[in-house]
């Protein structure tokens, strides 16, 4: 018994150390973003909000932020609808080729990002989608679909299809049955998938680097450009904004999934 407790304590301590090793370097960006210096310095020798003022007022940063938010909202809507439809088509059904279709939907999570980026670049170049809003929406939707499909499929796993048949037997149309019976029960899974889709689009950088254009850049691409070509502490403010938004949305998605499990 003591050996088991000791091993558990060691594993917990190891987990805490690994978590700290992964998180602490990221958190260093936060105090740097509040530095009053015109260059990178840690710990900051003075404090101020000048980097945030630059981020929210300089046209290149503000435009990139607005582009990312707009794309993420559109991708969230498209991926949520398509992912929910795919989950309904695949959940609880067995047919020839189902495994291949499941694998196709999960491919963006399994295949290395650089491979996906090169493949999309080659395809989009022939289709004339490089540097276009339609190209970004298509690429980000493909990357976000697995998250929606997985969450909605998990929600449908605990859904009793007898309720749908009961609704239909009472004269309800398929559309009425979905909105009145099915959707309220799977809503936490749909919302969680939508939040993950937003974060996926908002944070995406590898594919975006391949399909960008000088006139259409997302915030992660602008941040990458700043890191590689400039020495601008504004990148710290941008990183903090992305960190806060992503953490808040992922935390909300986790709470949504927990509420679904409790229900």
The pLDDT score that the predictor gives to residue 2 is 58
* DSSP per-residue codes, 228-258: HH---THHHHHHHHHHHHHHHHHHHHHHHHH
3-class DSSP state of 232:
coil
The pLDDT score that the predictor gives to residue 263 is 52
The rounded distance, in Å, linking the Cα atoms of 124 and 23 is 36
- CA geometry: angle 218, 220, 223, nearest 5 deg: 110
Distance in Å from the first CA to the final CA of the chain: 35
The residues of the chain scoring below 70 in pLDDT are: 1-4, 92-93, 95-98, 256-263
The pLDDT score that the predictor gives to residue 139 is 92
Query: What are 245's two structure tokens?
Result: 């938004």
Residue pair 139/221 in contact by the 8 Å Cβ criterion? no
The pLDDT score that the predictor gives to residue 224 is 86
The rounded distance, in Å, linking the Cα atoms of 2 and 24 is 32
The pLDDT score that the predictor gives to residue 142 is 92
């Amino acid at each position: 018994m003591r050996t088991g407790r000791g091993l558990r304590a060691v594993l917990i301590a190891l987990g805490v150390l690994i978590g700290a090793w992964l998180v602490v370097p990221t958190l260093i960006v936060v105090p740097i973003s509040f530095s009053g210096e015109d260059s990178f310095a840690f710990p900051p020798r003075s404090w101020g909000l000048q980097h945030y003022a630059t981020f929210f007022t300089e046209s290149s940063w503000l435009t990139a932020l607005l582009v990312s938010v707009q794309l993420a909202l559109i991708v969230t809507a498209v991926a949520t609808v398509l992912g929910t439809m795919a989950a309904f088509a695949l959940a609880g059904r067995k047919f020839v080729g189902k495994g291949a279709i499941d694998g196709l939907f999960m491919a963006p999570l399994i295949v290395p990002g650089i491979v996906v980026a090169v493949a999309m670049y080659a395809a989009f170049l022939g289709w004339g989608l490089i540097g276009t809003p339609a190209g970004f929406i298509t690429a980000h939707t493909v990357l976000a679909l697995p998250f929606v499909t997985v969450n909605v499929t998990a929600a449908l796993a605990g859904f009793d299809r007898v309720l749908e048949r009961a609704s239909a037997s009472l004269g309800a149309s398929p559309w009425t049955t979905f909105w009145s019976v099915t959707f309220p029960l799977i809503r936490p899974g749909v919302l969680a998938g939508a939040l993950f889709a937003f974060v996926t689009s908002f944070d995406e950088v590898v594919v975006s680097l391949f399909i960008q254009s000088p006139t259409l850049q997302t915030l992660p691409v602008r941040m990458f450009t700043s890191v590689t070509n400039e020495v601008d502490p504004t990148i710290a403010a941008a990183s903090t904004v992305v960190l806060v938004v992503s953490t808040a949305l992922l935390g909300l998605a986790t709470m949504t999934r927990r509420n679904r499990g409790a229900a």
